[in-house]
């Protein structure tokens, strides 16, 4: 009987990438994240951010009550999941982003926060409490930055969320700095002790705005304090990071475990890559429009997001860029951009994103681990340490009088779930169109 010769032993197979079943506190370390942004943090933006290197993405803030009575609808063709209000989709997502998606809640009530989280938890990997939005639509009922001065309520919401959510759903918080460094650290200590998985610190105070430089140098004391608590919780820096190529500067100043990007990503979702896209009129805008139309995304919201896109021009001439902007401004629907888009191959755009995520999973997009802090040399500036009790100076104002305490701003309809009398640009996704 002939015996088949033994073949040489095969080379050992490379270890498979670990499957991301659910997030842990470690997944919030050494990452570069997309910040929660109302309107700008739409589904297409989040997917392009993941494609170009974002480790995790935060959805836009949603007021707790707004999502409670939404109807969950799954598009059988695209797979897009919409949480629909009476006339529009208030929140949309896709299963491909679930392992990397953090849903942000605006709330001032532990019970409502838990109900809202339970409504969406099947489609997300984490729940984040907004404790930093300074705008009246968030603070008018005690939400957002108003929680910073009500730490008992803030912590009670986080404790309720952690108790109600299953272990595989993370709970985190995003705050702003308080004027006093001492008070900020006291608040951070209480928040860390609620059982959260990560803490994001926007390095501005409640009264500071985007035009004011983020005081990122204040964060190192906070990071050191949190590490000293020994709970292994990541502190995420937010404020004035320009992209992947700026992360080293931010982390060297702050010591932050990870960095979160907002405005730079709003302008160019590929900023998470070491080689962000240039000439976006050719490299990004057509793809963004194709994907949005394939998802049946609301035109007004798409138009708003595309209008924010900008990047360095290398081959695109100024006249061409201006012409594209003019076409966008004059377009009343997707058909008005056909000369820019060419063919509407949205399915192909989505498939490319899906392949990119599969081949290079976002949770593997990690920053180098920070080295231990070195003693400053004589040529280096000694890091500034804020003495206890020091107040952070408020930014210069415009000179306009302060609004009366009775002033109330209407909550944007895409967050409240209620239609405004006059539709606003960039509103939610029309239900009728789905």
Would you please indicate which residues are annotated as catalytic (active-site) residues? 133
d(C-alpha 36, C-alpha 174), whole Å: 10
d(C-alpha 53, C-alpha 48), whole Å: 9
Distances (CA, A) of 121 to 41, 83, 115, 125, 164: 19, 12, 10, 7, 11
Max distance between CA atoms of the chain, in angstroms, equals 100
d(C-alpha 347, C-alpha 290), whole Å: 8
Q: Please state the φ and ψ torsions of residue 354, each to the nearest 5 degrees.
A: -60, -40
Q: Residue 177 in contact with residue 205, Cβ under 8 Å? A: yes
Instruction: Determine the angle formed by the axes of helices 299-308 and 285-294, rounding to 10 degrees.
Output: 160
Q: Which residue has the tokens 């997917």?
A: 47
Enter the tokens of residue 148.
């910073």
> Which residues have CB under 8 Å from 354's CB, separation 6+?
96
CA geometry: angle 162, 168, 170, nearest 5 deg: 45
């Amino acid at each position: 009987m002939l015996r088949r010769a033994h073949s040489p032993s095969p080379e050992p197979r490379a270890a498979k990438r670990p499957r991301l079943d659910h997030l842990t506190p470690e997944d919030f370390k050494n990452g570069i994240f997309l910040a929660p942004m109302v309107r700008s943090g739409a589904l297409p933006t989040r997917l392009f951010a993941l494609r170009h290197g974002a480790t995790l993405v935060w959805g836009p803030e949603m007021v707790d009550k707004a999502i409670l009575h939404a109807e969950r609808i799954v598009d059988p063709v695209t797979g897009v999941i919409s949480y629909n209000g009476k006339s529009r989709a208030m929140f949309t997502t896709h299963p491909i982003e679930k392992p990397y998606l953090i849903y942000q809640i605006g709330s001032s009530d532990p019970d409502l926060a838990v109900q809202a989280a339970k409504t969406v938890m099947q489609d997300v990997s984490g729940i984040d409490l907004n404790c930093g939005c300074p705008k009246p639509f968030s603070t008018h009922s005690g939400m957002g930055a108003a929680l910073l001065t009500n730490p008992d309520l803030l912590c009670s919401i986080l404790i309720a969320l952690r108790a109600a959510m299953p272990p595989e759903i993370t709970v985190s918080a995003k705050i702003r700095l308080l004027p006093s460094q001492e008070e900020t650290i006291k608040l951070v200590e209480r928040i860390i002790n609620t059982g959260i998985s990560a803490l994001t610190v926007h390095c501005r105070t409640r009264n500071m705005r985007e035009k004011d430089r983020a005081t990122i140098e204040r964060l190192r004391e906070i990071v050191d304090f949190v590490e000293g608590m020994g709970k292994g919780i990541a502190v995420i820096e937010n404020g004035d990071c320009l992209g992947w190529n700026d992360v080293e500067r931010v982390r060297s100043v702050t010591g932050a475990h990870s960095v979160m990007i907002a405005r730079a990503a709003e302008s160019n979702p590929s900023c998470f890559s070491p080689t962000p896209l240039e000439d976006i009129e050719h490299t990004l805008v057509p793809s963004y429009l194709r994907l949005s139309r394939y998802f049946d995304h609301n035109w007004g919201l798409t138009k708003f997001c595309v209008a924010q896109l900008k990047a360095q021009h290398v081959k695109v001439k100024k006249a061409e860029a201006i012409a594209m902007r003019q076409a966008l401004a004059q377009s009343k629907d997707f058909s008005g951009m056909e000369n820019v888009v060419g063919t509407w191959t949205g399915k192909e755009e989505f498939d490319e994103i899906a392949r990119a995520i599969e081949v290079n999973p976002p949770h593997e997009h990690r920053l180098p681990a920070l080295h231990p802090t070195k003693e400053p040399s004589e040529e280096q500036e000694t890091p500034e340490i804020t003495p206890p009790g020091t107040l952070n100076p408020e930014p210069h104002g415009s000179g306009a009088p302060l609004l009366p305490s009775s002033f109330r701003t209407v909550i944007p309809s895409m967050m409240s779930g209620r239609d405004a009398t006059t539709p606003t640009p960039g509103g939610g996704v029309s239900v009728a169109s789905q």
